[in-house]
């Protein structure tokens, strides 16, 4: 089979997200338009500029992890393993299977195990008192926190994977890029099954402090439930979140052979970099538009074929305008016709993980034919003049959807998903 | 075209046209290669902080690296040392390849690097500020210096490379995975990729985190601390640095009229889900080597030398020696590990091994593994000891394993850029 004949489809979805446990609760939250943002409870946020976050109510033991797994894994690792187990169960695939070399893992994460790394730092340095930190307080799994690759290792152990295992870390596009990497592995023939997704648990003092320092996060501390306001004129920065989505991605024919139910096919994927600034975006959206154009080209689709856009929609002024410009630049008139929404309005921005949660949302949207809304969008920014599906979910006929991401470092990624058999030239 | 952009037809050829090195063996490919041939070690007592109170006191530090001279001034305070190394190495690699990014199509150039632990030293400083003085003392650059994508982002910006940039983390195997990814990018529309990896985690917190694996050697004598495959092996020595390579589409390189050090012939990656960090099964490595050979369309007898992962942890050495023996037969291929001169460089380690392998192919020699004495029982491999062998190798297999079970192999073949076998 040629690469174009080896098609990558999603057959299982697992999610750990703010506002509820598991895939079903996640979809309920998104379609209800409920926000999961609140005052930070995972640490005392007093003294921080931004004190709002979208937290997961996550009990690792109740979620099925053993005491040793809980001790060994950072919170981000715990999320990923729980999401991976749900995805595998959902897909009905038997893992470890008969051919572990054909099973790969591709997990994205922007900041790895920083929460664990910071907690241990605080002890080893005795509250920052000692530059020469005290190694006698080191925990046995400390190195596992220092290298983000641990997150992929933990998922790979769950699957008994002996194929390629990768941790992809391209900032806030890590999730989309990790899923894109999975598609490459399937198309080139290296793997038949990939556990792909992303995880981040960045709600810790050091991450909050570094976003405070550049005023990227919201200071709307008095009204946490309405603090994440993508495309709204009253937005003032993003709301940090956490979570993970992991998906079972399979080669279509082998998925069919085992009678799997397909959520969606990944039809096209492309990344571009703006080579402009580590955190800044040019208002013209030029490189994101190019990523969208190439993703559509690879999917052999036209702008008119796109029925919904899952936006990056972080809720910073520069992102929302950059992205709106990118949609107009790449899709022309279609940008004004198609519903667009940002689920970060409800679950915040979980950095590298968010791309995987957004692709999971796209897969669920295609299955249920419902567009999740952009919550809190009540006073539109006049410069963001497209249909962002304010406040209320919308039933909508969708065959093909676009999801985009944009991240620190200049990364711009676009991915096109379709209902099963929604490829160009096939009846959907 | 497929969803990820793979075009119909045969995979194109990927060649390496430029090498940039920042390593304990020296800054610049020429100095590094001189050290390799001379068996000159870059391992010594740690100077970046006082290691007296720690059980590990030796490491491979990059000598004489002055960020202020080798990195644009504005970027020095904005980035960690691992990014300083990569910016310097990328600059060198582009110059070596006679490539001027300003003259090439912006979307057809990309950067894909390996990262193993990000801006560790920068992060420790900022956490100290946070815990000692408060959140408002954390600097604005923490958000862009600490994370694993810092290097790729900065290098992409510096050279105007707007293609599909990436970051792969597979600990010590990551360097090979990044190069494997560079080949994928060349197959999906890119023509030139800066790829490789660097690491710089020789700060107190970085070292202490590494201690937790129990794999570091506690030997104080730099000449005795890192002896892979040796009866006296006692773990490994950590190091800093790495290499960045210019990987190009062969036709694009030919069109530019530049010679190549060699070609990326085959690549494969696998994983050992049962690895607990002490003894990855040799069968996984065997399988990965076979898959890399298949990818290259070669058989084991076509391999002229093997650059070993050479962990220095006896059980891992034994597993690797068994794997090599199983594929090539007892003593069936010369095996070398010049990394005994640098220590293990994490994200930079495998990238530097590939650079060394390409330099060796260009020079027509198999470099030796300096410092080893008596091979450990059970290691039935033909280790190249004492001095380089002038056997004009045409292919090299580079092996790498990363903490937790990562296992990768890359086959490289000789190019058309000769190098003097002995330094003048």
Neighbouring-strand partners of residue A415: A269, A403
Lowest mean pLDDT among B4-8, B109-113, B399-403, B412-416: B4-8
State the smallest CA–CA distance between residue B117 and chain A in angstroms: 5
> What pLDDT, in 10s, does the model give residues A313-371?
999 999 999 999 999 999 999 999 999 999 999 999 999 999 999 999 999 999 999 99
CA distance between the termini of chain A: 23
pLDDT band with cut points at 50, 70 and 90 for residue A428: very low
Q: How many CB atoms lie within 10 A of CB B328?
A: 20
- Contact state of A208 with B135 under an 8 Å Cβ cutoff: yes
Looking at the structure, do residues B121 and B196 belong to the same domain, yes or no?
A: yes
- Contact state of A210 with B406 under an 8 Å Cβ cutoff: no
CA distances from B149 to A221, A292, B115, B118, B347 (A): 30, 22, 8, 8, 13
Q: Is B232 on the interface with A (CB under 8 A)?
A: no
What is the pLDDT of chain A when averaged over all its residues? 96
**Model-level pTM?**
0.97
Looking at the structure, do residues B34 and B163 belong to the same domain, yes or no?
A: yes
What is the pLDDT of chain B when averaged over all its residues? 95
Question: φ, ψ for residue B184 (rounded to 5)?
Answer: -60, -40
Catalytic residues of A: 172, 312, 349
Question: φ, ψ for residue B18 (rounded to 5)?
Answer: -150, 145
Q: What is the pLDDT of residue A71?
A: 95
**Predicted confidence (pLDDT) at residue A179 exceeds the cutoff of 60:** yes
DSSP character at residue B275:
-
Phi-psi region of B54 (alpha: psi -120 to 50; beta: other; left: phi over 0): beta
Q: Kind and range of the H or E element at A18?
A: none
Looking at the structure, do residues B186 and B319 belong to the same domain, yes or no?
A: no
Distance CA B152, CA B90 (A): 10
Looking at the structure, do residues B252 and B269 belong to the same domain, yes or no?
A: no
Is B120 contained in some domain? yes
DSSP character at residue A260:
P
- Contact state of B201 with A146 under an 8 Å Cβ cutoff: yes
Question: φ, ψ for residue B367 (rounded to 5)?
Answer: -70, 155
**Predicted confidence (pLDDT) at residue B110 exceeds the cutoff of 70:** yes
Distance CA A300, CA B228 (A): 52
A140 Cβ neighbours under 8 A, 6+ residues apart: B212
List the one residue out of B356, B115, B399, B94 whose CA is nearest residue B245. Answer: B94
Q: Pinpoint the alpha helices (H) of B257-412.
A: 282-296, 314-328, 349-363
User: Which residues on chain A are in Cβ contact (under 8 Å) with B135?
Assistant: 47-49, 205, 208-209, 212
Q: Which DSSP string do the residues of A84-105 spell out, in sequence order?
A: HHHHHHHHT--SS-S-GGGEEE
The residue of chain A nearest to residue B78, with distances taken between CA atoms, is: A278
CA distances from B30 to B18, B36, B241, B385 (A): 12, 10, 15, 22
Distance CA A136, CA A145 (A): 17
Looking at the structure, do residues B289 and B252 belong to the same domain, yes or no?
A: no
Q: What is the pLDDT of residue A21?
A: 85
3-state secondary structure B193-235: EEEEEEECCCCHHHHHHHHCCCCECCCCCCCCCCCCCECCCCC
List the one residue out of A167, A138, A274 whose CA is nearest residue B118. Answer: A167
Looking at the structure, do residues B208 and B307 belong to the same domain, yes or no?
A: no
User: Which residues on chain B are in Cβ contact (under 8 Å) with A330?
Assistant: none
**Final residue in a domain of this structure, among B202, B222, B256:** B256
Q: Which domain holds residue B336?
A: 265-414
Which residues 330-389 of chain B have a CB within 8 Å of chain A? Answer: none
Looking at the structure, do residues B234 and B272 belong to the same domain, yes or no?
A: no
Q: Is B405 on the interface with A (CB under 8 A)?
A: yes
A67 Cβ neighbours under 8 A, 6+ residues apart: A61
> Domain A3-257 in CATH: superfamily?
Thiolase/Chalcone synthase (3.40.47.10)
pLDDT band with cut points at 50, 70 and 90 for residue A4: confident
> What pLDDT, in 10s, does the model give residues B214-268?
999 999 999 999 999 999 999 999 999 999 999 999 999 999 999 999 999 999 9
Q: Are A300 and A424 in contact (CB under 8 A)?
A: yes
Q: Under CATH, which number does the domain A268-418 receive?
A: 3.40.47.10
**Final residue in a domain of this structure, among B200, B230, B256:** B256
Distance CA A295, CA A301 (A): 9
Q: Pinpoint the alpha helices (H) of A163-285.
A: 174-187, 205-213, 252-257
CB pairs under 8 A between A and B: 305
User: Which residues on chain B are in Cβ contact (under 8 Å) with A211?
Assistant: 143
Distance CA A176, CA A187 (A): 17
Distance CA A377, CA A165 (A): 40
Distance CA A94, CA A203 (A): 34
Distance CA B116, CA B277 (A): 16
Looking at the structure, do residues B293 and B231 belong to the same domain, yes or no?
A: no
Is B4 contained in some domain? no
Q: How many CB atoms lie within 10 A of CB B387?
A: 12
Looking at the structure, do residues B180 and B284 belong to the same domain, yes or no?
A: no
**Predicted confidence (pLDDT) at residue A222 exceeds the cutoff of 60:** yes
The sign of the CA dihedral A340, A344, A347, A349 is positive
Distance CA A350, CA A172 (A): 8
List the one residue out of B24, B337, B45, B214 whose CA is nearest residue A138. Answer: B214
Which residue from A2, A124, A147 is facing B116, i.e. has the nearest CB?
A147
Q: Is B151 on the interface with A (CB under 8 A)?
A: no
In three-state secondary structure terms, B331 is coil
Which residue from A112, A205, A410 is facing B156, i.e. has the nearest CB?
A410
A416 Cβ neighbours under 8 A, 6+ residues apart: A266, A267, A268, A269, A295, A296, A298, A299, A301, A306, A400, A401, A402, B3
* Cis bond before residue A20 (omega within 30° of 0): no
Q: Which DSSP string do the residues of B22-87 spell out, in sequence order?
A: EETTEESHHHHHHHHHHT---EEE--SS--TTSS--EEEPPTT--HHHHS-GGGTTTS-HHHHHHH
List the one residue out of A264, A217, A236, A238 whose CA is nearest residue A365. Answer: A264
In CATH terms, are A3-257 and A268-418 the same topology? yes
Domain boundaries of chain A, sorted by first residue: 3-257, 268-418
Looking at the structure, do residues B193 and B218 belong to the same domain, yes or no?
A: yes
Average pLDDT over residues A279-295: 96
- Contact state of A133 with B204 under an 8 Å Cβ cutoff: yes
In three-state secondary structure terms, B416 is coil
Is B251 contained in some domain? yes
CA distances from B204 to A79, A104, B33, B63 (A): 29, 35, 30, 19
C-alpha angle B22/B25/B29, rounded to 5°? Answer: 55
> What pLDDT, in 10s, does the model give residues B315-368?
999 999 999 999 999 999 999 999 999 999 999 999 999 999 999 999 999 999
Average pLDDT over residues B295-317: 97
Average pLDDT over residues A118-142: 97
Average pLDDT over residues A214-241: 97
Q: What is the pLDDT of residue B421?
A: 45
Q: With a cut of 0.90, is the ipTM above it?
A: yes
> What pLDDT, in 10s, does the model give residues A53-103?
999 999 999 999 999 999 999 999 999 999 999 999 999 999 998 899 999
Phi-psi region of B371 (alpha: psi -120 to 50; beta: other; left: phi over 0): left
Looking at the structure, do residues B112 and B211 belong to the same domain, yes or no?
A: yes
Q: Are B299 and B293 in contact (CB under 8 A)?
A: yes
pLDDT band with cut points at 50, 70 and 90 for residue B423: very low
Q: Is B164 on the interface with A (CB under 8 A)?
A: yes
What's B81's domain CATH number?
A: 3.40.47.10
List the one residue out of B185, B178, B222 whose CA is nearest residue B51. Answer: B222
Spacing of C-alpha A15 from chain mean position: 10
State the smallest CA–CA distance between residue A313 and chain B in angstroms: 20
Q: How many CB atoms lie within 10 A of CB B198?
A: 37
**Predicted confidence (pLDDT) at residue A293 exceeds the cutoff of 50:** yes
pLDDT band with cut points at 50, 70 and 90 for residue B389: very high
| Domain tally, chain B | 2
Distance CA A55, CA A350 (A): 10
Q: Are B218 and B134 in contact (CB under 8 A)?
A: no
- Contact state of A47 with B134 under an 8 Å Cβ cutoff: yes
Is B332 contained in some domain? yes
**Final residue in a domain of this structure, among B256, B276, B304:** B256
Looking at the structure, do residues B27 and B169 belong to the same domain, yes or no?
A: yes
User: Which residues on chain A are in Cβ contact (under 8 Å) with B165?
Assistant: 170, 271, 273, 409-411
Distance CA A51, CA B135 (A): 12
Which residue from B107, B124, B153 is facing A272, i.e. has the nearest CB?
B107
């Amino acid at each position: 089979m040629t690469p174009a004949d080896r098609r990558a489809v999603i057959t299982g979805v697992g999610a750990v997200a703010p506002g509820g446990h598991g895939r079903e609760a996640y979809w309920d939250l998104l379609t209800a338009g409920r926000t999961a943002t609140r005052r930070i409870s995972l640490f005392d946020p007093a003294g921080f500029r931004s004190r709002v976050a979208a937290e997961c109510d996550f009990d690792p033991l109740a979620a099925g992890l053993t005491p040793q797994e809980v001790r060994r894994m950072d919170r981000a690792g715990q999320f990923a393993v729980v999401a991976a187990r749900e995805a595998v169960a959902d897909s009905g695939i038997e893992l470890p299977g008969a051919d572990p070399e054909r099973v790969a893992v591709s997990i994205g994460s922007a900041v790895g195990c920083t929460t664990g790394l910071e907690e241990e730092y605080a002890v080893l340095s005795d509250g920052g008192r000692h530059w020469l930190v005290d190694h006698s307080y080191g925990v046995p799994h400390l190195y596992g926190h220092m290298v983000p690759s641990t997150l992929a290792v933990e998922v790979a152990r769950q699957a008994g994977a002996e194929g390629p295992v990768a941790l992809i870390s391209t900032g806030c596009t890590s999730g989309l890029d990790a899923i894109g990497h999975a598609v490459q592995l399937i198309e080139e023939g290296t793997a038949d099954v990939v556990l792909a997704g992303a995880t981040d648990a960045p709600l810790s003092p050091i991450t909050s402090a570094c976003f405070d320092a550049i005023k990227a996060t919201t200071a709307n501390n008095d009204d946490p439930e309405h603090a994440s306001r993508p495309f709204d004129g009253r937005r003032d920065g993003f709301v940090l979140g956490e979570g993970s989505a992991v998906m079972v991605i399979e080669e279509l024919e082998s998925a069919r052979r085992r009678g799997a139910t397909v959520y969606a096919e990944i039809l096209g994927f492309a990344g571009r970099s703006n080579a402009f600034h580590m955190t800044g975006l040019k208002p013209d959206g030029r490189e994101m538009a190019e990523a969208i154009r190439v993703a559509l080209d690879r999917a052999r689709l036209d702008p008119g074929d796109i029925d919904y856009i899952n936006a990056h929609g972080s809720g910073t002024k520069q992102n929302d305008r950059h992205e709106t410009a990118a949609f107009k630049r790449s899709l022309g008139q279609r940008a004004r016709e198609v519903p667009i929404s940002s689920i970060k309005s409800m679950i915040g921005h979980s950095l590298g993980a968010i791309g995987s949660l957004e692709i999971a949302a796209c897969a669920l949207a295609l299955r249920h034919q419902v567009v999740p809304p952009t919550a809190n969008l009540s006073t539109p920014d006049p410069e963001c003049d497209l249909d962002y599906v304010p406040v209320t979910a919308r039933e909508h006929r969708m065959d093909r959807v676009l999801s985009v991401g944009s991240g620190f470092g200049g990364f711009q990624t676009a991915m096109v998903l379709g209902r099963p058999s929604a490829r160009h030239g096939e009846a959907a | 075209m497929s969803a990820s952009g793979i075009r119909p037809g045969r995979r194109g050829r990927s060649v390496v046209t430029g090498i940039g090195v920042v390593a304990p063996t020296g800054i610049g490919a020429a100095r590094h290669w001189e050290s390799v041939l001379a068996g000159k070690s870059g391992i010594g007592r740690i100077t970046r902080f006082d290691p007296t109170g720690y059980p590990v006191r030796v490491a491979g530090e990059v000598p004489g690296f002055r960020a202020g001279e080798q990195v644009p001034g504005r970027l020095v305070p904005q980035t960690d040392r691992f990014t300083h190394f990569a910016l310097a190495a990328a600059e060198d690699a582009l110059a070596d390849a006679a490539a001027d990014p300003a003259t090439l199509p912006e979307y057809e150039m990309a950067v894909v690097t390996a990262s193993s632990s990000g801006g560790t030293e920068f992060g420790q400083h900022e956490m100290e500020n946070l815990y000692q003085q408060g959140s408002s003392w954390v600097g604005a650059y923490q958000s862009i210096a600490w994370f694993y994508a810092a290097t790729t982002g900065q290098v992409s910006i510096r050279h105007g490379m707007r293609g599909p940039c990436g970051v792969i983390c597979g600990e010590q195997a990551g360097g090979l995975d990044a190069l494997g990814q560079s080949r994928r990018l060349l197959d999906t529309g890119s023509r030139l990729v800066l790829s490789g990896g660097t690491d710089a985690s020789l700060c107190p917190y970085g070292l202490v985190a590494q201690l937790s694996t129990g794999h570091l050697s506690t030997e104080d004598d730099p000449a005795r601390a890192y002896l892979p495959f040796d009866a006296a092996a006692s773990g490994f020595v950590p190091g800093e640095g790495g290499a960045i390579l210019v990987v190009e589409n062969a036709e694009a390189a030919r069109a530019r009229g530049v010679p190549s050090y060699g070609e990326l012939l085959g690549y494969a990656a696998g994983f050992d889900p049962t690895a607990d960090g002490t003894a990855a099964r040799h069968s996984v490595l065997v399988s990965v080597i076979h898959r890399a050979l298949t990818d290259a369309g070669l058989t084991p007898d076509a391999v002229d030398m093997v650059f070993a992962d050479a962990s220095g942890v006896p059980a891992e050495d034994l597993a690797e020696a068994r794997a090599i023996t199983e594929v090539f037969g007892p003593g069936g291929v010369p095996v070398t590990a010049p990394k005994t001169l640098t220590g293990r460089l994490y994200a930079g380690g495998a990238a530097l091994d590939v650079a060394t392998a390409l330099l060796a192919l260009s020079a027509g020699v198999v470099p030796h593994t300096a410092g080893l004495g008596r091979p450990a029982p059970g290691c039935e491999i033909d280790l190249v000891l004492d001095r380089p062998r002038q056997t004009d190798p045409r292919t090299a297999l580079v092996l790498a394993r990363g903490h937790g079970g990562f296992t990768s192999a890359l086959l490289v073949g000789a190019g058309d850029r000769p190098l003097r076998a002995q330094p003048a």
